[in-house]
Structure 1
Amino acid sequence: MSKTSLAANKLIFLLAAIIATTPLAIDMYLPAMPIIAEQFGSDLSHVQQSISIFLFCYAISQIIAGPLADHIGRRRLAFIGLLGFSFSSYMLAMTDNIESFLIFRSMQALFGAFFSVVIPGVVQQIYRENTAKGMSYLSLIMMMAPLLAPGIGSILLQAHSWRAIFIFLGVYAMIMVLLAMRFLPDAPKPTQRRRKRDILDGYRIIFSNKKARPFLMGTMMSSFAFFCYITAIPFVYLEYYAVSVQAFPFYFAFNVSFVILANIINSRLSVRFGAVKMLTFGMFFGACVAVLLCLVTWFNMPFIYTMLLLGPLMSSLSFIATNSDALVLMRFKEHTGSAAATIGALRFGSGALAGPLLLVLHNGTPLPFTLLMLTALVIVVLTRTKQTKVVV
C-alpha cells in the first residue's frame, strides 16, 4: 500500500467521525425523550417533533451550505458548522422549556449540515476515480454511530441526566474541531473565473446535466425506500408479526448488518468493476428481491420470509446509494459542495415523503410498505436503462 493510500485510509476515519456527529445528534437522545417531555411539562409528541424539525432544517441548510463550501472553502465552513453545532448543543443542555428546545435543535441541524456537506467533497478529492470505494469506507465506519448512539444516551441518562447527552455532543464537536484543524484538507483554490460565478451556478450545472440524472434518481429513490423501511418496520415487526420488544433490536440489527456487508463488498469490488457496474448490479438485484418480498406479503407468508428478504433488499439499497453518490461527486469535481448538498437535499426530501405515503396507503398489512419499496427500485431501473452508456 502506498503512503498516499495509507494517509487516505487514515483520514477516512476522521471524516466518518465528523459526519457521524449528525446521526449521534438524532439517535442519542431517543431514550431520554419521555423524561425531557416530563421535565418540560409537555407532551411526548412535541418532543418527538424535534426529530422532524431537525431533519427538515438539516435538508434546507444543505442547499445553502453546498455552494458556500465551494466559495468560502471546506475547512472554513466545517469549522463554522462544528463550532455552531457545539454551541447549540450546550444551549440545549440549559433549556427549560419545549420552545427553546425546538429552536436550538433547529440551530443544531442548520450548523450540522455545514460540516456534513463538505465531507463527500473531501472523499472525492482524496480517492478521485475510486470515490465509490471511499464512500463505502465512510458509510461502513459511520454505520456504527446509529447503532451505538441509543446505548451511549442510555448510559449518560442513567449516570447523570438527559442534559449530559447534549453536553457530550458539544464536547464531541469541539474535539472534531481540534482534529479538523490538524488533519482536514481544504479544496483546491478556485480560479478567478470560478470565483465570479453566481452562488447558484453549481445547482444549475448539476440539474441541467442529463447524464447525471439517473444517478441523482438512484440517490433519491434508494433513500426513499430506506426511509420507508425505517418508518414502517416498527409496525411490520412489532404489530403485524407480533415480534416481542426484546427481540425487535436483534431483527433490526440483522437487517442493518446487510448494509454493513454491502459497504464492505462495494469498497473492494467498486475498484475492480467500477461504480456504474456496481450500481447496475444493486438496482437489478434489489428489484428482484423486492418482487419476492411483495409476493411474500401478498400471500401472507410467515414472518421468517419477510425478515430474510429484507436483509438482501437493504444491501441493494446500499449499493445503489453509495455508487450513485460517488458517480455524482466524480462528475462535478469543481462543484463538490453543491453536488453533496444536492445529494443530501434529495435524500432527506424524498425520505420525508415516506411517512405520509405510508399513512395514506396503510391497510393494516405490510403490503403498502413493500409495494413502495418495489416502486422506488423500478423507477431507478427505468431511469437507468434509458441511459445504458454513461461516461464518467
Structure 2
Amino acid sequence: MLAIADSLNSPLEQVQVSLSSYLAGYAVGMMVFGPLADRFSRQTLAIWGLVGFTASSIGLALTNDIDMFCFLRVVQAFCGAAATVVVPGVIRYYYKEHTAKGMSYVSMIMMIAPLIAPSLGALILLYFDWHAIFWFLAIYAILVIIALQFFCIAIPTKADVPLSLSFFLKSYRIVLTQKKARYDILSSMLASFAFFCFLTSVSFIYLEYYGVSEQLFGVLFAMNVIALMLGNFANTRLVPRLGSRRMLNIGLAIGVVCSTILVILSSQSVSVWVLASAIAPLMMSLGIIASNADALILLSFEHQTGTATAVIGTLRFGSGALVGPLLALAVPESPLPFSSFMFAAIVLTIVCQLLNRRFEKSVNATEIKE
C-alpha cells in the first residue's frame, strides 16, 4: 500500500480505503451472483466472473489515478465474487452428506494464500513495481479460466425460472426464513467474527504489545494459520464417521476451553510463545466449527446453494466489519479485549446450537404426535 500511495501521489489513508471498497464490492457481488448461481450454469458464471476479474486487474495494472484505482478494485471484487460463490454449491453436489469434508479441503487450500501472499508480493516488488502484482493476478485468472475448460460442472439449475426481481427476493426469502438453518447461519457468522477478531488484532498483539520482530511475527502468524489448516484436515478425517453436527459440537467444546484459557492468560503477563500456543488450538477449533456450520447450512438447501452461500458470505464479511469498531471502543492496551470477544463469540455459538437442539426436539415431537 505504501508503494501504491507513493506512486499515485495519494495519502496512505486513501489507498487503504480501496481495501474497504474491495470488501464492499465482494459482498455486493455475492448478493447478486448467489441467486444467479442457482439459475445459470455455475461453470459459465465462474468463467464470466473471471473474465471481469482479469479485465479489471489489467485496468489496475495500467491506471495511475487513485480514484480509478479504487473504482477498479470494487469491480475486481464484484466480478471475483461470481467465481467464488459457485464453489460451495459444487462441493455440496458432489460430496452430498460429506459436504463438510469438501468444505474443509477448500478451506485448507484457501489458508495457503495468507501464508504465501506476503512473501510472493514482496518478491514481485523486489524486481518490479506494484503494477506487476495486478499483472500477476490477471495472468493467474487467465490460467484458472483455461483450467475450467477441462472440467464439466454438470449441476442441475433452475433454468426454467424467469429472471426477475421477484426471483432474487424469493431466493433470499427461502433462505432467510428457513428455521432449520437459522441457528447454523448464526453459528457460521459468529465463527467468522471470532476469526476476524484474531485477524484484526494479531499485528497489534505480536508487533506492538510484545514488540517482536517482523520475521518472528511471520513465524507466529504462520503457526496460527497452520493450526487452522490442521483443524480442517482433522475434520476431513473425522466427519465421515462422526457427522457434521457432532464435529461442530466437538469444535465448540475445544473452542470454549481454549478461549477460556486465552482470556486467563491475556489478563496476566505471559510470554508471547505461551499466548501463541493458546491461540493455536483455538484457531484449530474455529476451522472445525466454520466448516461444519457452513456444511449444515448448504445441506439444508438443495436448490438454493448459491443464495445460501451469498448469505453466509455477506454475514461473514459484515461480522468482520464490526470487529474493528468494537475493538476500538474497547481501547485495546493488551490482548484481553481480543480474547474476550473470541470467548464471547464461542459462547454465543454454543447458545445457538443449544437453541437449535431444542428446535429439532420440538419438530421431532410434533412429527411423532402426527
Q: TM-score, length-normalised on structure 2? A: 0.93
Q: Which shows bigger deviation, 67-76 or 370-379? A: 67-76
Q: Which amino acid aligns with 2:218?
A: P
Tell me, yes or no, if structure 1 residue 46 matches structure 2 residue 18. no
Who is 1:167 aligned against?
135
- 2:231 and 2:8 mapped to 1: Cα distance? 42
Who is 1:216 aligned against?
185
Q: Which consecutive residues of structure 2, in runs of 5 or more, have no partner in the other structure?
A: 364-370
Q: Which amino acid aligns with 2:338?
A: F
By how many angstroms is 1:198 displaced?
A: 1.9
By how many angstroms is 1:111 displaced?
A: 0.3
What's the secondary structure of 1:182's corresponding residue? coil
By how many angstroms is 1:181 displaced?
A: 2.2
Tell me, yes or no, if structure 1 residue 36 matches structure 2 residue 4. yes
- 2:56 and 2:161 mapped to 1: Cα distance? 37
Cα 1:186–1:384 shift into 2, 3 Å: same
- 2:335 and 2:146 mapped to 1: Cα distance? 47
Q: Please say if residues 38 and 157 of structure 2, whose CA atoms lie closer than 8 Å, have aligned partners that are also in contact.
A: no
Tell me, yes or no, if structure 1 residue 270 matches structure 2 residue 271. no
By how many angstroms is 1:289 displaced?
A: 0.9
Who is 1:110 aligned against?
78
Pick one of 71, 75, 89 that aligns with 1:121. Answer: 89
Q: Please say if residues 67 and 200 of structure 1, whose CA atoms lie closer than 8 Å, have aligned partners that are also in contact.
A: no
Who is 1:24 aligned against?
none
By how many angstroms is 1:303 displaced?
A: 2.8
Q: Which shows bigger deviation, 240-249 or 230-239? A: 240-249
- 1:364 and 1:112 mapped to 2: Cα distance? 37
Tell me, yes or no, if structure 1 residue 229 matches structure 2 residue 198. yes
Q: Which consecutive residues of structure 1, in runs of 5 or more, have no partner in the other structure?
A: 1-32
By how many angstroms is 1:379 displaced?
A: 0.6
What does the per-residue CA deviation read over 1:167-221, in whole Å, with 9 as the maximum and x for residues that have no partner? 1111111111111122140421327469797222221111111121121111101
Who is 2:331 aligned against?
362
Q: Please say if residues 88 and 108 of structure 1, whose CA atoms lie closer than 8 Å, have aligned partners that are also in contact.
A: yes
Q: Please say if residues 61 and 114 of structure 1, whose CA atoms lie closer than 8 Å, have aligned partners that are also in contact.
A: yes
Tell me, yes or no, if structure 1 residue 134 matches structure 2 residue 102. yes
Who is 1:61 aligned against?
29
Who is 1:245 aligned against?
214
Who is 2:294 aligned against?
325
- 1:75 and 1:186 mapped to 2: Cα distance? 8
Who is 1:337 aligned against?
306
Who is 1:305 aligned against?
274
Q: Which amino acid aligns with 1:265?
A: A
- 2:280 and 2:153 mapped to 1: Cα distance? 36
Q: Please say if residues 40 and 159 of structure 2, whose CA atoms lie closer than 8 Å, have aligned partners that are also in contact.
A: no
Moved over 4 A (4+): 191-197
By how many angstroms is 1:251 displaced?
A: 0.7
What does the per-residue CA deviation read over 1:277-296, in whole Å, with 9 as the maximum and x for residues that have no partner? 11111112101111111111
By how many angstroms is 1:152 displaced?
A: 1.7
By how many angstroms is 1:150 displaced?
A: 1.8
Q: Which amino acid aligns with 1:277?
A: R
Once the two structures are aligned, what percentage of the paired residues are identical?
42
Q: TM-score, length-normalised on structure 1? A: 0.88
For these two proteins, the number of residue pairs brought into alignment is: 359
Q: Which amino acid aligns with 1:120?
A: P
- 1:264 and 1:253 mapped to 2: Cα distance? 16
- 1:134 and 1:368 mapped to 2: Cα distance? 34
Cα 1:129–1:194 shift into 2, 3 Å: farther
What does the per-residue CA deviation read over 1:72-102, in whole Å, with 9 as the maximum and x for residues that have no partner? 2212211111000000000000000211110
